[in-house]
Amino acid sequence: MREPKENNNKISMWLVRIILLVIAVSTLTYFFPRQGKTHYVFQEGRPWSYSLLTAPFDIPIYKTEAQLQAERDSIMRDFRPIFKLDRTISSQMVSNFDKELREHQNPTIDASYRNTYVKALQEIYDGGIIAAESFNALNNGEIAGIRVLENNVAKNKASSELNSPKTAYEKILSTFTDTYSRHILQSCNLNKYLVDNIVYDSITTNKIRDEYLQNIALSDGMVQAGERIIDRGEIVTPYTYRILSSYEIMLAKHSKSDTKQGHYMLAGQLIVFSCIIVFMYVFMAFFRPRFWNDSRALTLIMLLITLLSAAAFVASTHGFHAIFLVPITIVPIIIVTFFDSRTAMYVHLITTTICSFASPAPMQYFFLQLVAGMAVIDSLNNLSKRSQLFRCSVIVFVVYAITYAGYTLFTEGDIAKVSTTMLIYIGINSALLLFSYLLIYIFERLFGFLSSVTLVELSDINSPLLQRLSEEAPGTFQHAMQVSNLAAAAANHVRANAQLVRTGALYHDIGKLTNPSFFTENQSGADSPHKNLALEESARIIISHVDEGIRMAEKYGLPRQVQEFIATHHGHGKAKYFYNTYCNQHPGEPVDESLFTYPGHNPQSKETGIMMMADSVEAASRSLKEYSRQSITELVNRIIDAQIAEGLLKETPLSFRDVETIKETFIEKLMTINHTRIAYPTLNK
């Protein structure tokens, strides 16, 4: 039944790999910039690094945005907005005013005076009354003048003829200086008859203004097909820069109109990105099979490559140096935290290679990111403190700055070419690396990985669970401390994860908290509680501390990797004391070995294997009557050789050389821990 299950797992894993490949390549192709730029990288004032360039087709020399804006501003300065003349308003207001004067009593207004007042109002309307806002804009010079539309004919109107309702009122009053006339005009509410008869026409104004702006020529010259543009070593002048920029614009238009070429480019992108990802798959399959067969690890790696590359693609469309704002070195930080430095370096190379395709300066980008990635991996071999990440950020900025300055001097030969903008961008890039700490926490929760930072936090003996262990089972706590020291020392000598071993060792016996007094290390000379129990029952209580430990670990939220140490520290071995005693008391009788066998599975990693050996050796060393090198050596060899003979370590990747190294480490550590102490003399009185 096991073979079909393994085949199903292999098939599902291959499906995961294919799905991840398709999603990654599709996403990268979708976000890859499609502005149709050439493969040339050039900047104004710098030499042309390529061979002779001639125009493959007619190229209009487009004006710069500054030139176009200057022409737009010139047009807008001389542009006169359109107003409409409404004669019905003036005739209506004049007629109403005349009627008001005729009906005026106390005093009755003479006809000659009345006609004079009406004529003055008519003259004001003939000149034109416009809104106060437009009138002020004319007087302040914000607009050059206006054109008045009447019978579909627009004519310029002099600003001196125009009035606002307020100035019209003041002008009429100033015409009549006698007290009688002023009294008549004010009592008739003259200002009530002064309204705009020239009204702003926004629709016509916008239409004419847009026509003027659209008539601006976008180009001011032409490069004929076959004409020489620039040759190697020549400085890119402002005029040549305009030609090269125009060439890119025309190339983009040709690409959009050429559907066949667009399809070829799309196919090329799919092939290139697929090849890069497949080569990474090959590396994982041959050199990192543990990650290759772990869907979580593969998903995280592909997610990082895809997200950071897509971000770089988007940034590359916003400026020459904008791509350097994307902190690509976050990838090796996270990979080296969860996996190893070699994987981190390879994944960083893959990500940098993909991003380089979108960079305006591919060689410069690849070189700077390569060196920065090396600096990250070298400075973060084992991330366990937040201060390390800050130090890494500073180191990356310094490395970026030095390599950028060096590359510029190497290619340009001029220190003045070092861009301040570029230094600011890489400074922001380096500062963004500090967010890696948050990302590490998020990915730990999403994917179930375990970072060194979390291991250090779990190793704190003041944590609630370890504090409880030290108070309720002090002997077990001391045993766990000694095992952690032994196992960590051995792990360092065989290239295993010492911090993981140390943390797992501290928690491996927490199940003994359920019945601490049933374990020898917690008994203080009183009668053993096993005295009145059957051997089978005693074995059951001792064996149960594994299951109890796993339940307690789940309750306290310990990571799966730490729980593995609890489940495997006895493997599928036996409770030897009770098993041997039972066999001795029942010679020749069949024994139900399941009653004396631990339920856990055997260790499957270097770390859990080391912990199993350290646990057994440390516990057995307490029974030695003499702590000499010979007795300790015999003990270590006997315990570990027995575990190997029983097959408890056969699923671990430990080699015979590793086992010998571990034995030597245990012997040296036990000799140091149990060294002979001199007797202090008493003071003779």
Q: Where are the domains of the chain?
A: 72-213, 286-447, 454-673
- How many CA atoms lie less than 13 Å away from 133 in the CB half-sphere? 2
| Topology given in CATH for the domain delimited by 454-673 | Hypothetical protein af1432 (1.10.3210)
Mark 624-660 as b/e (b = at least 16 C-beta within 10 Å): eeeeeeeebbebbeebbeebeeeebbebbebeeebbe
For 634, the token pair is 């015999």
Where is average pLDDT lowest: 116-120, 122-126, 669-673? 669-673
Give residue 8's pLDDT. Answer: 74
Which pLDDT tens digit goes with each residue over 588-628? Answer: 778 777 788 888 789 999 999 999 999 999 988 888 888 88
The pLDDT, as a whole number, for residue 137 is 87
Instruction: Give the type of residue at 453.
Output: V
Q: Is residue 541's pLDDT more than 60?
A: yes
**So what CATH class is 286-447?**
mainly alpha
What number of other Cβ atoms are within 10 A of residue 669's Cβ? 21
Weakest-pLDDT range from 459-463, 516-520, 555-559, 660-664: 516-520
Instruction: Tell whether the model's pLDDT for residue 40 goes beyond 90.
Output: no
Name the DSSP letter for residue 237. Answer: -
d(CA 37, CA 56): 15
Structure tokens that stand for 84 in this block: 């409409």
For residues 125-134, give the mean pLDDT: 90
**Model-wide pTM > 0.75:** no
Determine contact, residues 243/251, Cβ cutoff 8 Å: no
**154 beta partners:** 149
State the pLDDT confidence band at 36, using cuts at 50, 70 and 90. Answer: very low
Q: And the tokens for 411? A: 């290619």
**pLDDT over 90, % of the chain:** 32
Name which of 580, 615, 619, 585 is nearest 596 in CA terms.
Answer: 580
Burial class from Cβ neighbours inside 10 Å (0-12, 13-18, 19+) for residue 310 reads buried
Strand, helix or coil for residue 520:
helix
Q: Confirm if 85 and 148 have CB atoms less than 8 A apart.
A: yes
Half-sphere exposure of 556 (CA within 13 A, CB side): 18
Q: Greater confidence, 629 or 253?
A: 629
312 neighbors 326 (Cβ within 8 angstroms): yes
Structure confidence at residue 542 (pLDDT): 85
- State the chain's mean pLDDT as an integer: 86
| Residue 105: other Cβ atoms inside 10 A | 6
- On whether the CB atoms of residues 149 and 204 are closer than 8 A, the answer is yes
**pLDDT given at position 258:** 53
Q: Specify burial of residue 136 (Cβ count, 10 A radius: 0-12, 13-18, 19+).
A: exposed
DSSP 167-205: HHHHHHHHH--SHHHHHHHHHTTGGGG---SEEE-HHHH
Residue 497: exposed, middle, or buried by beta-carbon count in 10 A (0-12, 13-18, 19+)?
Answer: buried
Residue found under tokens 């004396």? 596
Question: What's residue 259's pLDDT?
Answer: 62
pLDDT over threshold 80, residue 678? no
| Confidence class for position 384, pLDDT limits 50, 70, 90 | low
Q: Which of 456-465, 560-569, 585-594 has the highest mean pLDDT?
A: 560-569
Question: Strand pairing of 53-54 and 146-150?
Answer: unpaired
Per-residue pLDDT band for 6 (boundaries 50, 70, 90) equals: low
Q: Can the peptide bond before residue 107 be classed as cis, meaning omega within 30 degrees of 0?
A: yes
Tokens of 555: 């309750």
Specify the 3-state DSSP secondary structure of 107.
Answer: coil
Pick from 501-505, 516-520, 679-683: least confident: 679-683
Q: How confident is the model at residue 1 (pLDDT cuts 50, 70, 90)?
A: very low
> In the structure encoding, which two tokens stand for residue 408, read together?
């510029």
Nearest to 300 by CA among 350, 345, 339: 339
pLDDT surpassing 50 at residue 238 = yes
Among candidates 421, 365, 368, which has minimal Cα distance to 398? 368
pLDDT at 679: 56
Q: Residue 279 in 3-state DSSP?
A: helix
Please compute the mean of the pLDDT values over residues 623-643 and round it to a whole number: 88
No. of helices (H) and no. of strands (E), the chain? 28, 8
Report residue 441 CA to chain centroid gap: 13
**Both tokens of residue 424?**
């600011």
Q: What is the mean pLDDT of residues 79-101?
A: 90
pLDDT at 255: 61
* 176 three-class SS: coil
Residue 177 above 90 pLDDT?
A: no
**270-315 pLDDT, tens digit each:** 999 999 999 999 999 999 888 899 899 999 999 999 999 999 999 9
Q: Is the pLDDT of residue 5 over 60?
A: no
User: Confidence class of residue 3 from pLDDT cuts 50, 70 and 90?
Assistant: low
Burial status of residue 362 (CB atoms within 10 A of its CB: 0-12, 13-18, 19 or more) = middle
Q: How confident is the model at residue 432 (pLDDT cuts 50, 70, 90)?
A: very high
Decide if 499 contacts 382 (C-beta within 8 A). yes
CB 220 within 8 A of CB 63: yes
- Residue 232 near residue 50, CB atoms below 8 Å: yes
DSSP string of 252-297? HHHHHH-HHHHHHHHHHHHHHHHHHHHHHHHHHHHH-HHHHT-HHH
Q: Where are the alpha helices (DSSP H) in 357-512?
A: 362-379, 386-412, 420-432, 436-447, 452-458, 464-472, 474-493, 498-507
Rg of the chain on CA atoms, in Å = 44
- Dihedral sign for Cα 478, 483, 486, 487, please: negative
Helix (H, G, I), strand (E, B) or coil at 235: strand
Residue 484 confidence (pLDDT) above 90: yes
- Name the residue with higher pLDDT: 130 or 361: 130
With 90 as the cut, is the pLDDT of residue 33 above it? Answer: no
